[in-house]
Copies of this chain bind each other. A is one copy, B any other.
């Protein structure tokens, strides 16, 4: 196995992923003076349950089940809005789904490689991608406010599996 592969694509202690993500979220929210309430934290935890994007209604189903009672769409969407606003998750428009941000501490754009087979979404941190996008925008005098890059294809594992 290629040791340089992103963690999302490799066998790893995923409990540690979740734990670190939640700790980072706690730290970030306290630093920002915003409240990571129990509900918001639980939604973030659910999103982090895997490296695959999760739909709002999937989250809703889990909450409804474990809460015994209700849980309506606005409950989930408000939590998601909070998490998005504080850069703790990203929204993948091509999937209508959400995924935990792997480096929430610094501002960055949403660049993902999404496996068509196993649905793993790999967050890419490539300044070169942003640089070329900025160059193209500058050429037509366009002022960038937000970039969204979603690439679909096959991750390393699924390529190997289908060989």
Contacts and interface: CB of A to CB of B under 8 A. Distances in A.
Interface in A1-19: 2, 4-6, 9
A84 to B, nearest CB: 13
Interface string A131-163: 111011101111111111111111110010000
Interface stretch (A50-58, A65-73, A75-83, A122-130): A122-130
A131 B4 CA distance: 21
B136 A153 contact: no
B145 A152 contact: yes
- Size band of the A side of the interface? 35 or more
Contacts of A137: 113, 124, 151, 153
A151 B137 CA distance: 9
Contact of A128 (B132, B153, B154): B132
Given A5-B140, A124-B137, A129-B129, 15 more contacts: A4-B139, A93-B93, A115-B142, A124-B140, A126-B132, A126-B135, A129-B136, A140-B155, A141-B155, A142-B151, A142-B154, A145-B154, A147-B149, A147-B151, A149-B149
Interface of A: 2, 4-6, 9, 93-94, 111, 113, 115-116, 122, 124, 126, 128-129, 131-133, 135-137, 139-156, 159
